[in-house]
Each structure stands twice: as C-alpha cells, then as structure tokens.
Copies of this chain bind each other. A is one copy, B any other.
Amino acid sequence: MSVGIRHDDLRRRNRAMVIGAVRRAGQPSRTEIAATTGLSHSTISAISADLIGEGILTEGKPNEAGSLKRGRPQVGLGLNPEAAAVMTVVLSLNFLSVAVIDYAGQVVAEEQRRLDTLTMSREALIGECTAIVRRRLEDPDLDVSSVARIALAIQGITDTEARTMLWSPITPRTDIAFADILEAEFGIPATMENDCNMMAVALRWRAPERYRDDFIAILLSHGIGMGLVLKGELFTGTHSSGGEFGHMIHRPGGALCRCGRRGCVEAYAGNYAIWRNARQLGEDTEPVADVSDAQMRALAATAREKDGPEREAYRKAGEALGYGLGSLFALIDPAPVAMVGVSAAAFDLIEPALREAIAQTAGGQHSKSISFDTEPNELPLIREGCAMRALTFVDQEIFAPGGQARSGKNVA
C-alpha cells in the first residue's frame, strides 16, 4: 500500500511546503512561513536560501507598507516570475484559447481562435491545438526552455490520469490523448483537465475564505457540468473526471437528453432544454446543437417580463437542479455552490424553484443556509484554474533536489 518515507524525501517535501506557502500567501516573510508550515525558523531559513539561490524565490524589497513595527523589518519572499512559465489551452465549443503565464501567475501572452469544433476532423482538431501552441512557443519574447508545463481544459469527460479526453460535447470525436500528443510534439509535460474541475480550482484561489475545503461549482451552459472540492481535494471519479452532475437522473424515463438517455438533469436545465421548453417543443424533441448566449439572454428577458412558457422553462430547470443538488447533498452534505455560465445570469429565474425542490430533499433542512454565488462568464475561470493547476504542478517538480539544486548548494 502506501510507501515508507525515505530520509531524502524529507527535504523535498518541506521545500514543497515552503513554495506552496509562498504561492498562497503572496509575499510572506520567513517568520510567517515558519508559522504556517510549523517548521523551525532555521529550517525555513535554510530552505529559502536554497530556493533563492536556485532562482525559484526572490526577496522582495523591504516591506513598502511602511513598517510600523519595532524590530528588524520582515523581508517578503515572492515567486520569481522568470523561474518558469506554463501554458493553458482551453478548448470549448467553436473556440480555442491559449495563454502563457509566468511563474508568479501573470499572463504574459495569449491567443484566441474561432473554429468549427463540431464538424472538424479528429486530425484537424488536434492540428489546431498543436499549431496554436507552436505559435506561442515560437514567440521571440518567450524563452521556450522556461515553459515547464501545459494544461489543457475541455468540456466533457477526461480520464483520471488527466491524459485523455474521453468524450466531449464539442466534438463527435472521442478518446483523444491530448496530453500524450502535446508531450510528444513539444517535449513539455502536459495534462488534460475537465473544464468544471478547473473552475473549482480557480474559485479556490480566487476566494479561499469562501471556497476552501468543501464546495461545488456548477456550470450552467449548453450542458450542465460540475466541479467538486471535498475535504480540500478536487473530487474525481474512479476512472474518469467524474462528477457528471448533469447526468444524474432527475425523472426516470423523462425528457430526452443530449447524451441519448432520458430524464437527466441536463435534459431540463441545459440551454437546449430550457430553449426546448420555452418553445414548447415537447420533451422528446432532439436537442439542438447550440443555442447562442444572446438567444439565452433574450429568453431570460422574456421570462422576466411575463409569465409564459419561458418562465416555466426556467422553473423546470430550477426544479431539476434543485432535486439533483438535493440528491448530491444526501451524499456529501450541503456545501456552498457557485453557479457559473450564461444561465447563471438568469439565476433569479431559477432560484425559487430550485430552493423549493431542495426543500423536498435530504438537504432540505439546511435549505435556507445554502448560499449561491453566480458568475456568468466561465472562460476566465477555466483559464485561471488551468494556470494554477499547471503552476502547482511545477511547484511540485522544481523543488525536487537534483540538477539546479546542486548548483545552488555550491553557490552557498
């Protein structure tokens, strides 16, 4: 089972701890780091000296916020932006976007492209992805060798190893091993992530006071996706990225879902489902391929204006989401929820039915206290999550003693 701790792992782990503390805290002093990690001052001093020598950390200028305290001023430690860089690739419906991010987390370059993902061949899709990455890598402003990792995100299902897209609504092609492909092409470690999981990762960095150990991010878009953090860990399935909240069954044998099955939550709350209900097309109507954000906003506007099929469509969406959340809460207990995506902008139309439904479920007793945030724009969140995921991977690799670590020692 789990493996013993070798003596040499100790330093590596504690280096990881220090880097992690710096990434989370921003510009902590050595004393602060000692406090948060529980290690002694001497250890922190030694490790940070190494890390500075290796160019991973940098000493900030003496605290600019005029030190009002008495003694020797703390010197903040920060991540050296030039220590490494990562790339994020977000592949969504008809849209491909790439960004280069420095080690401190700042975007240094980006590129976006429209394409017709639904009809593209497998090769074309892969080709577009590698081409856009190549263009960024060829940017003369970028030191290619510093790019330490690539993180891709895609709507749909990925495997637990974060290497392969198993299935995605944005393309009929399946089982594309994007991570392997990019690694083979560029020799840079890559991972293939699920978009909603990245949303959750981003929320955690954006608002750790609200989203820390246990929370749910739900994407209300064409499909319904979920990213789940439980006990401080990103939750994934046993084989796939899992958390297919949208395909929990709301009504056995119910409305036709895009996945071909019936009664999924998505078949009531996805854009196409709301659209279908608003147009009173009947639950067996084949889901349309895409409803534009503008169309959805118009629908929401109509629903707010008058009590008609549009309003009823949002009510049904709320009900499905509410019962789904209720079932989820039965399994994991209630937790804060962030609603993300275009329909999050219509959450006012969804919320009443949603709360009413939750009240009918095991999560119901806490119904009042469950809070919802909304964030209509999922793309920035996904990109941010990818960036943090890639960067924390780098954190976990760079600190391994060996290579640079040795030269650091020699300098000292």
Contact = CB atoms under 8 A, between A and B. Distances in A.
Interface of A: 1-7, 10, 13-14, 17, 20-21, 24, 36-39, 43, 213-214, 230-232, 237-240, 242-245, 247-253, 259, 261-264, 319, 323, 326-328, 330-335, 357, 360-362, 364
A250 B252 contact: yes
Given A238-B213, A238-B231, A362 B331 contact: no
Contact of A331 (B5, B17, B243, B357): B243
B39 A6 contact: yes
6 contacts: A1-B232, A4-B38, A5-B17, A6-B39, A249-B360, A251-B252
A336 to B, nearest CB: 10
A43 B39 CA distance: 25
Contacts of A263: 360
A360 B39 contact: no
A17 B4 contact: yes
Contacts of A7: 10
B38 A242 contact: no
A308 to B, nearest CB: 23
A156 to B, nearest CB: 13
A79 B362 CA distance: 43
A178 to B, nearest CB: 20
Contact of A330 (B245, B253, B330, B364): B245
A288 to B, nearest CB: 21
Contacts of A251: 251-252
Nearest to A18: B4
Nearest to A36: B1
A230 to B, nearest CB: 7
A332 to B, nearest CB: 5
B1 A327 contact: no
A13 B5 contact: yes
Contact of A230 (B36, B238, B323): B238
A2 B39 CA distance: 11
Contact of A6 (B38, B253, B328, B330): B38
A230 B3 CA distance: 19
A362 B239 CA distance: 14
Nearest to A3: B38
Contacts of A38: 3-4, 6
Given A6-B38, A7-B10, A249-B361, 12 more contacts: A4-B37, A5-B10, A5-B17, A6-B39, A213-B238, A240-B333, A243-B331, A245-B330, A247-B330, A249-B323, A252-B357, A261-B361
